[in-house]
Structure 1
Amino acid sequence: MNWLRSPCPALVVDAAGAVHGMNEAAKTLFPQQVSSDWREWQHGESVRVAERTYAAHRVDNGDGSATWWLLDETDLKLERERTALLTRMSSALMTSLNPERCMNVVAELAATHLADEALVIAPQSDHGHPITRCVRGGTPTHELQRIDVEGVVGLSEALRGFPPVPSRWIDPAAAPEWLARDGRSIVVTPLPGHGVPAGALVLVRKDLQFSENEEAFARLFASRAGVAMSAASLFTQQSVITERLTRDLLPPVLRRYEKVELAGRYRAAADSERVGGDFYDVHELPDDELFVVLGDVCGKGLDSAVQTGKVRTALHALLQVVDDHDQMLRALNQALLTTDQSRFITVVVGTVRPVAEGLHLTLTSGGHPPPLVVRTGGTVEPARTRGTLVGILPEIRTTTDEVLLRPGDSCLLYTDGIIEAVGGPLGDEEFGEERLRRALGACGGMPAEALVEHVHMLAANWVGAGVHDDIAVVSITAPRRRSR
């Protein structure tokens, strides 16, 4: 009979409920006479026999007897449990893109599910190796430590090896004090990342040895932990690079000079971005003079911000060799035509010179809205300067205006993000230059800082939660004279 030679244990139970026969596999599983436990079996349920798990299936034979087949599902059940555990571990690993917190999660998961103690060691930094240590049931601890990785078998290979090198066993007697103070079984497993090693995982057990299956499961966990640590490290590196580049692209913080008040405000078009196409700069010249520039690069976002960086660098270089506004804008126009004909700019430049009466301003516009002069008494007048766009035509024309600011007077430089801000009561009306002038009429004598803050607030309130362009505004103010 074929069932007698089947590798699957089978028991035949007669109509009286007694075991009538067993095949060879069942006799091996039940070396003694089978107990009456089978009477409690239910068809399809899992039963435990000799430390293994079987699915019990009953087949009626038609003569009152029945055959119980025991399908070994120990490995399948273990694999399902491990798959579910890996899924939960993966979800926990992806909860943070901070490298230190990610290492803490890896160490805590490893100590909870794989070993009595776990160490996560990241590649060396300037101040040593980042190490996170966690014992089962404890809280992870993180530190920077200078260690001799060559003195630990397999550790140096795990930290620098890719593709991943095999796990390595460490003799507890030869383990250094910092690695494992009390361990019977120690294994080092690489943490492979995105094309580079993310670090090494050290698992320590105090009582039991690692089985072959447990070591294989630890490698699966390590592969996922390495990806998570690598992602956190790459994200941090990119964030640092982005922060440094963004810092250079943002307008500078304006300082206050003894004879000139300066203030500026900037807001990118998208709330999710910090940089855009508007910019301003202030450069110091001999004899207490200042060079002020405010401009707007065609477009929005990062591409425009990169172009503003090029324009600001070009203007700074031209300032060293050209002191005439018209010549400077012509040279900038040629530079933009040569390097990038797809983007043009509008710009206004000004030279500020302290005089006995207050401040003497020389203003030149290249296709930009003319600055507005706000007198102490509330009069608002545009500077008489006009010019063509910069970077779109072979030749440009500009006119320069001379303005005297008496104590308390201000000159407001702004981009079209102010006057073209769409919003208002119905949400579809531009703020407009006329509305800006009327608002500035109530700002006579304001300090520079208060003036730019007021204008910025007006535009922000007008737009509300709507879409807006980049916004930049600078105030040049003649300080009021202090009374004796």
Structure 2
Amino acid sequence: MVTVSNWLRSPCPALVVDAVGAVHGMNDAARSLFPEQVVPPQWRHGESVHVAERSYAAHRVDNEDGSVTWWLLDETDLLLERERAALLARMSGALMTSLNPERCMTVVAELAAAHLADEALVIAPQSDHGHPVTRCLRGETPTYELQHVDVEEVVGLSEALRGFPPVPSRWIDPAAAPGWLAQDVVSIVVTPLPGHGVPAGALILIRRDKRFTEDEEAFARLFASRAGVAISAASLFTQQAVITDRLTHDLLPPALRRYEHVELAGRYRASGDTERVGGDFYDVHELPDDELFVVLGDVCGKGLDAAAQTGKVRTALHALLQVVTDHDKMLQALNQALLTTDKSRFITTVVGTVRPVDDGLHVTLTSGGHLPPLIVRANGAVEAARTKGTLVGILPRIMTTTDEVLLAPGDSCLLYTDGITEAHGGPLGDEEFGEDRLRRALTDCGGMPAEALVEHVHMLAAQWVGSGVHDDMAVLAITAPRRRSS
């Protein structure tokens, strides 16, 4: 039971309203809250009452004499914490929608301007072209640009960009703020944006009407800690994406161009639909006297590990080509290199030297455990090159045989990996495409340009597989162009 003396001394404001609705009693806390005459309250139990920039929950207690005591429970801090928690949740949700650093900076500046300050700036560490700066005025669209700013002109900014703790806002003289920052400023908060081991930048909050309280500064630091992690994650993702793209570009087969006397075309498809690189490869290198060196191969395995080995093989072949052009010697040297570096991965490959001659192209072919290239004549006849050899990278010494082929105008030499012939699919989904089916399909390709030939073979294999699982596929065509009639 609440006695008269208890409710009068209570720090919680309380008002007593008699049966006719008149206020006839208040404790000291209520008098300090309502210094003037109080109009009889028309509150509902549990509703929020706003008095002197504070928020109170009104709770009704009915007394035995018919009067009502209204207790006002201060919920300002609780509501503020709820609002801040909701803000942090919204910010986290908004930042999770993007892994773009610029977009993250925009979201942070927009949220900070809307809930923490009149204006917010997010400044990222300096790049080659200046500091990326996102600025947002409350209610306006954020702007992003690279700026050459002197961070030493703002107290604490250079330290914040290096990840040091923030200085209190009372140490920052708004009148000394540089023109690039803001004008007519009352209070400034500068706080770091901590990242994953490396600072993600700094957050600057600006007010033009009142100063920041210590509690508001503490929340600004909490806000900045979450924002910094998100910006840092986006930056790391972008850096990794750039690195991956550059490395992937080097691992992919090269773009082929048409030479005056030789048509070249290639197609490549990795085993996984979400992968760009794998264990199949082809390359073309220019030699003196208009000759070309071509290579197509298949590294044991698939995916990124096989692609990494592919890069090593391609680099080794390019280096060997500077000192030796004899096919057998080159493959022997490559075999020794693979035995020395990685005995767990072997390759099959076929190399060729293409030399223009008066009546077409002279092609020298040597296989290292690879499927023999197919010669597609202009009249539709198909024959296999007479070259064979042992796998490269397993035995101390390999055996190879070399074949020499003359391609007349309209003839093509097709190099391909077993991803084509061993592709499983068809009507029942479990039948190999096979070498015989490939040869029969090529009888309709006599006289095709190199580009059309590889596209046709690639399309046949893709249609055969359908949506099923397949190995890496690579196809390279060497075609002697038809002579133009004068």
CA offsets per residue over residues 94-136 of structure 1, 9 Å max, x none? 3222222222222222222222222221111111111122222
How far did residue 317 of structure 1 move? 1.8
Aligned to 1:370: 372
Aligned to 1:388: 390
How far did residue 152 of structure 1 move? 2.0
How far did residue 290 of structure 1 move? 1.4
Aligned to 1:351: 353
Aligned to 1:25: 29
- The one of 337, 340, 343 equivalent to 2:342 is 340
How far did residue 334 of structure 1 move? 2.0
- The one of 298, 303, 306 equivalent to 1:304 is 306
* CA separation of 1:166 and 1:432: change in aligned 2, threshold 3 A: farther
- The one of 322, 325, 332 equivalent to 2:324 is 322
One-letter code of the match for 2:136?
C
Q: Is the counterpart of residue 7 in structure 1 residue 8 in structure 2?
A: no
Of all paired residues, the percent bearing the same amino acid is: 83
* CA separation of 1:59 and 1:167: change in aligned 2, threshold 3 A: same
Q: Is the counterpart of residue 84 in structure 1 residue 86 in structure 2?
A: yes
CA RMSD of aligned residues (A): 2.2
Partners in 1 of 2:128 and 2:63 — Cα distance? 75
Higher deviation after alignment, 410-419 or 456-465 = 456-465
Q: Is the counterpart of residue 269 in structure 1 residue 261 in structure 2?
A: no
Partners in 2 of 1:23 and 1:117 — Cα distance? 42
Contact 1:13–1:66, Cα closer than 8 Å, also in 2: yes
SS at match of 1:197: coil
Contact 1:361–1:404, Cα closer than 8 Å, also in 2: yes
* CA separation of 1:155 and 1:51: change in aligned 2, threshold 3 A: closer
Partners in 2 of 1:410 and 1:282 — Cα distance? 16
One-letter code of the match for 1:468?
H
Contact 1:167–1:189, Cα closer than 8 Å, also in 2: no
Contact 2:23–2:39, Cα closer than 8 Å, also in 1: no
Partners in 2 of 1:30 and 1:138 — Cα distance? 38
Partners in 1 of 2:19 and 2:485 — Cα distance? 119
How many residues matched? 481
How far did residue 337 of structure 1 move? 1.8
Contact 2:279–2:299, Cα closer than 8 Å, also in 1: yes
One-letter code of the match for 1:110?
A
One-letter code of the match for 1:119?
L
Q: Is the counterpart of residue 219 in structure 1 residue 217 in structure 2?
A: no
Partners in 2 of 1:142 and 1:11 — Cα distance? 54
Aligned to 1:461: 463
CA offsets per residue over residues 328-364 of structure 1, 9 Å max, x none? 2222222212211221111111111222222111111
CA offsets per residue over residues 397-455 of structure 1, 9 Å max, x none? 22221211111110000011111122223322221111111111011111111111111
Aligned to 1:210: 212
Higher deviation after alignment, 53-62 or 186-195 = 53-62
Higher deviation after alignment, 83-92 or 261-270 = 83-92
One-letter code of the match for 2:295?
V
Contact 1:59–1:67, Cα closer than 8 Å, also in 2: yes
One-letter code of the match for 2:226?
R
Structure 1: which 5+ residue stretches go unaligned? none
Aligned to 2:290: 288
CA offsets per residue over residues 189-238 of structure 1, 9 Å max, x none? 22222222111222222233323333333222222221222122111111
One-letter code of the match for 1:424?
G
How far did residue 69 of structure 1 move? 3.2
- The one of 141, 144, 147 equivalent to 2:146 is 144
Contact 1:387–1:396, Cα closer than 8 Å, also in 2: yes
Residues 141-290 of structure 1 aligned to structure 2 (within 5 Å)? 141-162=143-164, 164-168=165-169, 170-290=172-292
Contact 1:166–1:190, Cα closer than 8 Å, also in 2: no
Partners in 1 of 2:160 and 2:244 — Cα distance? 30
Partners in 1 of 2:92 and 2:344 — Cα distance? 46
How far did residue 259 of structure 1 move? 1.8
Partners in 1 of 2:385 and 2:422 — Cα distance? 19
Q: Is the counterpart of residue 434 in structure 1 residue 439 in structure 2?
A: no
* CA separation of 1:108 and 1:16: change in aligned 2, threshold 3 A: closer
One-letter code of the match for 1:344?
F
SS at match of 2:394: coil
One-letter code of the match for 2:468?
G
CA offsets per residue over residues 364-395 of structure 1, 9 Å max, x none? 11121111000011000111112222222333
Partners in 2 of 1:176 and 1:26 — Cα distance? 47
Contact 2:104–2:234, Cα closer than 8 Å, also in 1: yes
Partners in 2 of 1:11 and 1:139 — Cα distance? 47
How far did residue 90 of structure 1 move? 2.2
Residues 55-134 of structure 1 aligned to structure 2 (within 5 Å)? 55-60=57-62, 67-134=69-136
* CA separation of 1:140 and 1:68: change in aligned 2, threshold 3 A: closer
Contact 2:382–2:439, Cα closer than 8 Å, also in 1: yes
Higher deviation after alignment, 92-101 or 290-299 = 92-101
Q: Is the counterpart of residue 36 in structure 1 residue 37 in structure 2?
A: no
